[in-house]
Amino acid sequence: MSWDWQFYCNDTATQEAVAGCFGPGGKEQTYLQWMLSAWGWTLEVSVAALLLALVIGSLIGIIRTAPNRWLAGFGEAWTELFRNIPLLVQVFLWYYVLPEFVPALKNPAVKTALVICALGFFTSARIGEQVKAGILTLPRGQRYAGQALGMTLPQTYRYVLLPMAYRIVIPPLTSESMNIVKNSAVAFAVSIPELAQFAQQASEETSHFEEIFIPVTLLYFISAFAINRVAKFIEARVRIPGTVGAK
Amino acid sequence: MKRVLLAAALLAGFSVVHAEDTLKKIKDTGTITMGVRESSGLSYTIGDGKYVGYHIDVCEQVVRDIRRQLGLSSLTVKYQPVTSANRIPLTVNGTVDLECGSTTNNAARQKDVAFAVTTYVEEVRIAVKAKSGITSINQLNGKTVATTTGTTSVQTLRKHERANGVDFKEVFGKDHADSFLLLDSGRADAFVMDGSILAKNIATSKNPADFKIVGEVLSVEPIAIMIRKDDPAFKKAVDDSIKAMMKSGELAKLYDKWFLQPIPPTNTKIGLPLSAATKEAWANPNDKPMEEYAKK
């Protein structure tokens, strides 16, 4: 089989080679520029959804362990709702069904936000489950000790429970964070021009399937692996010798 | 030793897949695999694993002719659903023998696959909401335009923008039904695609009167049945069968059946009269790629 990578320097409209491999930008771009911008979309959707998922997931995880029936019940309902519906279905619900009830969401400016919400909320249910598990791993005495010292409930969480719980759940959170990069490919289904969309369209235009899918695969790998390395770095930096999970 | 055997088995497997003689393969296995589309103008499903359409009827006639040519008493037809994006790989790797979707014959694809003589000449048009007041592509400047990932219309749109200095916000549906939903739900102001696909999506929508096909012909594309490359005997068998249909008027009858009469599943009419370009292609059967048409 013969490889041909030259087309990456071709203009996407004229199919002619562009000197220096970079067009003036905007719509006058080469396949290389198109791939990089598609990667940008993948990263944007993934990182934004990850931040959303971490914040909401933490809140959900915390309230599920709170000594209040209503709060815990809400967290429970949230988790079951978002983890029992397939991700692709959720994306469609956010993108096509929800705007029927809230017309303001039809605005093109918020269409990326809808996908980020879908991906972020889906992952938040899973992160919530892990944060809850982390908190429940701690001996019950820790909570009592905090409150015996006169701390309020939020203070107990902030200074006693969460610092330990988060350290314990860093490894599962890492794989959840890496999953979000891979799951971001569903954004293709609602017209976000991300890597999976680039791969389909560009390979159709150029008929260079291998030369497109190999770099796209590598870019997904690099993105997920970068998150893995950052998480490992954080895990190493915050490690406390002699506690659960530390070597 | 086991590994050697495994490698040998794999190699044997590959060579079967890449056997270039499709007619022999059909004769030996007694089956032919038709590539079909889920929602395309010339080939679509009516549910329950049934596929219908203009190109399906053409292919079924081709299959009958091939069966007669090979002297087989029976020939099993397998239907393999394909998409815009996977139809070429599946044809190249031998999964599909006869791709009966709505594939544009162009020079880039001819590097990987071959095409039978053109059965339909497609004109790329614009579908809009009837009450939008849009009548020409130039009115789409700054508007959101939907088209489907994995089709030549994406490039047509891009070339048009460049040539006329207009700027569209493009959104790419993952399939035609999805692109049409973008137009229907108001996320796009126009859907640029092959006329037959637009007509079919409009005909099967909830309120066909809400949509209109407007504007100039953006691109002319010969649509043909796709087969594997470098298999002259099979290509001749397919071509001869189609040419006979063109001559006998059978193809015109099929056109009438699928484009002017009520069709399943909703018994609506597409109502797309035979174009001069398609008539011309039937009068002079050829497998010229799209680029040759653009030169005219």
Domain residue limits at A53: 21-237
* pLDDT given at position B8: 53
Q: Does A99 lie at the interface with B, CB-CB under 8 angstroms?
A: yes
* pLDDT given at position B216: 86
Asked if residue A59 belongs to a domain, the reply is yes
Instruction: Return d(Cα A219, Cα A241) in angstroms, integer.
Output: 36
Using an 8 Å Cβ cutoff, are B237 and B65 in contact?
yes
Res. B20: pLDDT tops 90: no
Q: Does A206 lie at the interface with B, CB-CB under 8 angstroms?
A: yes
Q: In the predicted model, what is the mean pLDDT of residues B279-290?
A: 94
Asked if residue A178 belongs to a domain, the reply is yes
* pLDDT given at position A1: 55
Instruction: Return d(Cα B245, Cα B119) in angstroms, integer.
Output: 10
Which residues, 6+ apart, have CB-to-CB distance to B105 below 8 Å? B115, B118, B221, B222, B223, B224, B226, B287, B288, B289, B290
CATH code (residue A180):
1.10.3720.10
pTM of the full structure: 0.76
Percentage of the residues of chain B whose pLDDT score is greater than 70:
93
Residues 126 through 185 of chain B touching chain A, CB cutoff 8 Å:
144, 146, 149-152, 154-155, 158-159, 161-162, 167, 169, 171-174, 178, 181-182, 185
Among partner residues A13, A200, A206, which is closest to B150 by beta-carbon distance? A200
Residue-averaged pLDDT of chain A: 91
Asked if residue A6 belongs to a domain, the reply is no
Q: Does A7 lie at the interface with B, CB-CB under 8 angstroms?
A: no
Query: Inter-chain contact A204–B144, Cβ cutoff 8 Å?
Result: no
Res. B95: pLDDT tops 90: yes
Q: Does A191 lie at the interface with B, CB-CB under 8 angstroms?
A: yes
Instruction: Tally C-beta pairs within 8 A across A and B.
Output: 65
Q: Which residue of B has its CA nearest to A210?
A: B89
Query: Inter-chain contact B159–A13, Cβ cutoff 8 Å?
Result: yes
Going by their DSSP bridges, the two strands B76-82 and B31-37 should be labelled as parallel
The confidence band for A166, taking pLDDT boundaries of 50, 70 and 90, is: very high
Domains observed in chain B: 2-121+222-295 (3.40.190.10), 123-221 (3.40.190.10)
Query: Inter-chain contact B155–A205, Cβ cutoff 8 Å?
Result: yes
The confidence band for B72, taking pLDDT boundaries of 50, 70 and 90, is: very high
* pLDDT given at position A209: 83
Query: Inter-chain contact A27–B150, Cβ cutoff 8 Å?
Result: no
Residue-averaged pLDDT of chain B: 88
How close B163 gets to chain A, by Cα (Å)? 10
Q: Does B80 lie at the interface with A, CB-CB under 8 angstroms?
A: no
Q: How many domains, in total, are found in chain A?
A: 1
* pLDDT given at position A131: 96
Which pair of structure tokens corresponds to residue B201?
């999506």
Q: In the predicted model, what is the mean pLDDT of residues B41-68?
A: 93
Which pair of structure tokens corresponds to residue B166?
């207009």
Which pair of structure tokens corresponds to residue A221?
């790998």
Instruction: Return d(Cα A129, Cα A124) in angstroms, integer.
Output: 8
* pLDDT given at position A245: 53
Q: In the predicted model, what is the mean pLDDT of residues B54-71?
A: 95
The CB density around residue B244, as the number of other CB atoms within 10 Å, is 14
* pLDDT given at position B233: 95
Q: In the predicted model, what is the mean pLDDT of residues B166-172?
A: 88
Asked if residue A194 belongs to a domain, the reply is yes
Asked if residue A202 belongs to a domain, the reply is yes
Q: In the predicted model, what is the mean pLDDT of residues B115-127?
A: 94
Q: Where are the alpha helices (DSSP H) in B18-86?
A: 22-29, 54-70
* pLDDT given at position B15: 44
Res. A212: pLDDT tops 90: yes
* pLDDT given at position A244: 56
pLDDT in tens, B100-119: 998 989 888 898 899 999 99
Whole-number Cα distances in Å, A95 to A37, A98, B35, B128: 22, 7, 31, 21
Asked if residue A189 belongs to a domain, the reply is yes
Res. B9: pLDDT tops 70: no
Locus of tokens 């649509």: B223
Instruction: Return d(Cα B109, Cα B176) in angstroms, integer.
Output: 21
Res. B19: pLDDT tops 60: no
Asked if residue A120 belongs to a domain, the reply is yes
Give the CA diameter of chain A: 74
In 3-state terms, what secondary structure has residue A138? coil
Query: Inter-chain contact B162–A193, Cβ cutoff 8 Å?
Result: no
Write out chain A residues lying below 8 Å of B182, CB-based: 191
Res. A178: pLDDT tops 90: yes
Write out chain B residues lying below 8 Å of A102, CB-based: none
Res. B273: pLDDT tops 90: no
Burial readout B91-129 (b: 16 or more C-beta within 10 A, e: otherwise): bbebbbbbbbbbbbbbebbbeebbbbbbbbbbbbbbbbb
**Strand locations in chain A, DSSP E?**
none
Instruction: Return d(Cα B237, Cα B78) in angstroms, integer.
Output: 19
pLDDT in tens, A85-135: 999 999 999 998 999 899 888 887 788 999 999 999 999 999 999 999 999
Interface test with A, best of B86, B113, B158, B218 (most A CBs within 10 A): B158
Which residues, 6+ apart, have CB-to-CB distance to B237 below 8 Å? B23, B62, B65, B66, B69
Q: Which of B194, B190, B228 is nearest to B212 (CA)?
A: B190
Res. B137: pLDDT tops 60: yes
Percentage of the residues of chain A whose pLDDT score is greater than 90:
76
∠ CA B229-B72-B90, nearest 5°, is 30
Write out chain A residues lying below 8 Å of B84, CB-based: 204
Which residues, 6+ apart, have CB-to-CB distance to A23 below 8 Å? A11, A29, A30, A33
Q: Does B236 lie at the interface with A, CB-CB under 8 angstroms?
A: no
Q: Cis peptide before B265, with omega less than 30 degrees from 0? A: yes
Q: Does A13 lie at the interface with B, CB-CB under 8 angstroms?
A: yes
The CB density around residue B192, as the number of other CB atoms within 10 Å, is 30
Res. B16: pLDDT tops 50: no
Percentage of the residues of chain B whose pLDDT score is greater than 90:
57
Among partner residues A14, A108, A201, which is closest to B150 by beta-carbon distance? A201
Q: In the predicted model, what is the mean pLDDT of residues B35-64?
A: 92
Among partner residues B85, B159, B174, which is closest to A189 by beta-carbon distance? B174
Using an 8 Å Cβ cutoff, are B62 and B241 in contact?
yes
Res. A158: pLDDT tops 70: yes
Q: Which of B230, B14, B238, B201 is nearest to B126 (CA)?
A: B201
Which pair of structure tokens corresponds to residue A51?
């931040």
Asked if residue A164 belongs to a domain, the reply is yes
Q: In the predicted model, what is the mean pLDDT of residues A40-61?
A: 96
pLDDT: is B173 or B8 the higher one? B173
Res. A23: pLDDT tops 60: yes
* pLDDT given at position A34: 94
Q: Does A96 lie at the interface with B, CB-CB under 8 angstroms?
A: yes
Locus of tokens 């971490």: A54
Give the CA diameter of chain B: 73
Local structure of residue B99 (DSSP, 8 states): E
Residue B147 exposure: Cα atoms within 13 Å on the Cβ side: 22
The confidence band for A232, taking pLDDT boundaries of 50, 70 and 90, is: very high
Q: In the predicted model, what is the mean pLDDT of residues A31-43?
A: 95
Write out chain A residues lying below 8 Å of B109, CB-based: 207
* pLDDT given at position B17: 47
Instruction: Return d(Cα B180, Cα B272) in angstroms, integer.
Output: 18
Write out chain A residues lying below 8 Å of B172, CB-based: 191, 193, 197, 201
Query: Inter-chain contact A204–B85, Cβ cutoff 8 Å?
Result: yes
Q: Does A175 lie at the interface with B, CB-CB under 8 angstroms?
A: no
